[in-house]
Amino acid sequence: MFIVYTHTTSLVASEDSFESLLGELTEIATKNKLNIDQTPGIVSIISGEELRQMGISHFDRNALNMIPGISLLSSRKSDDYTKYLFQINGISLNTEVTGIGYLPMISTKSIQRIEIIRGASSALYGTSAYIALINIVTVQEQNSVWIDYTNYSSSNHDKAIGALMYHKIDSVDVSLRLHGIDADGIDQSVTQDSASLSGLPTNTPSKVNKSKKGYDIGLNLKYENWKLDYERIYTGNTAAYGASYIYLPKDSDKIIFAETKDILQINHENTIDDLKINTHIGYFHFDQNVEDMYLLPAGIFPTDYTAGVKTKEQDLYAGVELNQQFGEHELLVGMRYFYSNLYAEDFFATFDFRDGTIHDTPSDVGGDIPQTTRRTKSLYIQDYYSFSDNTNCIANLRYDHVSDIEQGIISPRLAVVHNFNDNNILKMQYAKAYLIPQFYPLYSNPETTFIKGNPDLEIDEADTYELSYIHKKLSHSFKSTIYYVNMYKIASVIIDGDTTLDAKNSKKSAGTEIEYNHKFDFLELKTNLTYNFYSNLKYNDGMFYDNEILRLPDLLGNVILKKNITSKFSTLFWYNYIGEQKQYNSDIKTDAKHLINLNFTYLTKLYENSLSITLSANDILNQKDSETPLAESFKIDEYADNSRRYMMQLSYLF
């Protein structure tokens, strides 16, 4: 369920950090502090310092590539972002109705660590905790500034600046995080395989650039047992080869896709005798704006028109958790109420689907796009039971009821952790994951989209089974995990005349993950390998379904070497392998990637050792940044003109 990070996935930031990680504590898997080796499933923890040492300046699709079985767009189970639950300081970044949207481009300099549960954790966290739960923990008590620069070519580069500020005012701790980034990214070329989608001749390449801009602001206030967290995260994708990664833009026109998230949450912790009470209330506002999206021409539709979508969602939620020890049992009982309102959904286009009118400028052609509210009521319980000094059992049961689809879902989890001795641990776990259908698959207006929504969609479910063995000592560790995943009731696209959504597809996969780490006197070695040895796609009544699991490499691997040359100078070598990825029911596939990255970090003697310099070269072999498109009507034939990149970061701690 999660990747173990203690000794198995970490890169060492100091001479003693490897040993200290053996006692790493986390609350993410059970909401009780446990050593990560004692958690149900597999947990990984990556520090922000480790990410910077690997040449990663901000959280993006590469930030978790060193984790077994995860490559964000190529995970062991699915490439659907909605099936990842993203959190920042324990607060969800996923909207309740419209999904996750873009990843937050948070600087690794402001990340204390990232905690990952690999696998299902819906029994504790609810919807979207399907493939993995990823919690970004930010630095709270630090004063620092930094500048990042990444170069791809003479005309392509990323620039970022950020700061962390901390101050104590009387009894109030105030932490502020500021970060802004302007990322040019890499150039790509796309070639159409069939009829023109946007006025281009067949098989004519169109060059696009996947640039982004964004900023994030984090404010944290602590006073006695009270805590207030505010997050504002803005991400703007200024270009791509389709807003939905399906349709080409015309020539070099850019697609604008921007979203803003405002999140405010207040927590209060209290203790009455031995009863711990944790309550929280929160507010989530989500704005999404898509402009200049080129849609698929069909039949009498013109071949040159644009469309835009503006979406606004507002969420309110509240919850309480009670935790108390009863002999060998530690019980956790939680209740949560979530109210979500999609209160503005506008569709603009230069062509009106309803009457065939062509407009010189985009006009409101939204029609009767339904506005919706969703109320989700949740009740969950967890029993952490100690059979003996060597064996613990964790049992979870959760019930959620969703108002707009009038469905309920029960999610169990049962895990056993057995310590043979201080060096050998065995874990077994069964867990159920689920994803509540979101707005667009349910309610899409057939007058303004080619895909008709299906209000009868069922909740997407998955059963996951995991068996893990861990062997650890101070100098080395070994871990192996075997997993089996059965996903069913998947919201899939069926193409049979009209394009509609159904929920009858299913997917099964099984594989193994092996990790080995060793701390030599002169070198630190981290390795892992993920092999997906079984995959089965099921169809309903012989009908063709466009399955949501489109990219699944059979092999993922990493080799990481770190050497502290002096007390102030270190170097790191990272080899990342992503196997060939093939689209189901198609000959379209991507090549395997061999990514070689080299990093140097130097702590200067200037300013009392507070100034550090990090230099890295990523993708030294200049591999193609390959991606499998979601439709056979086009392909990416020139994956990247400039995928090799060089990063420099200056950081000053004061």
pLDDT tens, position by position, 99-127: 766 778 899 999 999 998 888 899 999 98
How far the first Cα of the chain sits from its last, in Å, is: 39
Reply yes or no on whether the pLDDT at 68 is more than 90. no
422 Cβ contact partners less than 8 Å away, ≥ 6 residues apart: none
Which of 228 and 296 is assigned the larger pLDDT?
228
Per-residue pLDDT band at 451 (split at 50, 70, 90): low
What pLDDT is stored for residue 280 in this prediction? Answer: 97
Per-residue pLDDT band at 244 (split at 50, 70, 90): very low
Reported pTM: 0.87
Cβ distance 391 to 417 under 8 Å? yes
Reply yes or no on whether the pLDDT at 56 is more than 50. yes
Reply yes or no on whether the pLDDT at 53 is more than 60. yes
Per-residue pLDDT band at 157 (split at 50, 70, 90): confident
- Encoded tokens for 370: 């339904």
| Region 361-375 average pLDDT | 74
What pLDDT is stored for residue 488 in this prediction? Answer: 82
Per-residue pLDDT band at 94 (split at 50, 70, 90): confident
Per-residue pLDDT band at 349 (split at 50, 70, 90): confident
Which of 67 and 416 is assigned the larger pLDDT?
416
* pLDDT tens figures, 563-588: 988 878 889 999 988 887 765 555 55
For 300-304, 373-377, 514-518, 523-527, which range has the lowest pLDDT when averaged over its residues? Answer: 300-304
Distance (Å, rounded) from C-alpha 19 to C-alpha 268?
34
Query: Which residues are registered as beta bridge partners of 605?
Result: none
The kind and range of the H/E element at 210 are: none
Percent of the residues in the chain that have a pLDDT greater than 90, as a whole number: 35
**DSSP annotation string for 532-574:** EEEEEEE-STT--EE-S-----SEEEEEEEEEE-SSSEEEEEE
The kind and range of the H/E element at 50 are: helix 48-53
Q: What's 274's DSSP letter?
A: T
CATH 2.40.170.20 corresponds to the domain 17-653: yes
For 366-375, 462-471, 621-630, which range has the lowest pLDDT when averaged over its residues? Answer: 621-630
Considering 46-50, 141-145, 637-641, the range whose residues carry the highest mean pLDDT is 141-145
Reply yes or no on whether the pLDDT at 538 is more than 90. no
Per-residue pLDDT band at 211 (split at 50, 70, 90): confident
Selection from 91, 383, 61, 472 nearest residue 263 by Cα: 91
- Encoded tokens for 512: 């193994």
Q: What's 300's DSSP letter?
A: T
* pLDDT tens figures, 6-48: 333 333 333 334 334 444 778 888 888 788 888 888 888 888 8
Reply yes or no on whether the pLDDT at 196 is more than 50. no
231 Cβ contact partners less than 8 Å away, ≥ 6 residues apart: 88, 91, 216, 217, 218, 261, 262, 263
What pLDDT is stored for residue 164 in this prediction? Answer: 96
For 40-54, 323-337, 433-447, 593-607, which range has the lowest pLDDT when averaged over its residues? Answer: 433-447
Which of 289 and 629 is assigned the larger pLDDT?
289
Cβ distance 454 to 498 under 8 Å? no
Considering 193-197, 426-430, 452-456, the range whose residues carry the highest mean pLDDT is 426-430
What residue ranges do the domains of the chain occupy? 17-653
- Encoded tokens for 445: 């207006």
Q: What's 49's DSSP letter?
A: H
What pLDDT is stored for residue 489 in this prediction? Answer: 77
* pLDDT tens figures, 387-437: 888 999 999 999 999 998 899 999 999 999 999 998 999 999 999 999 888
- Encoded tokens for 423: 């060096």
The amino acid at 15: E
Distance (Å, rounded) from C-alpha 464 to C-alpha 483?
7
What pLDDT is stored for residue 20 in this prediction? Answer: 41
Selection from 416, 413, 336 nearest residue 382 by Cα: 413
What pLDDT is stored for residue 629 in this prediction? Answer: 47
Rounded to the nearest integer, the mean pLDDT of the chain is: 78
Rounded alpha-carbon distances, angstroms, from residue 234 to 82, 97, 286, 512: 18, 19, 10, 37
In whole angstroms, how large is the CA radius of gyration of the chain?
25
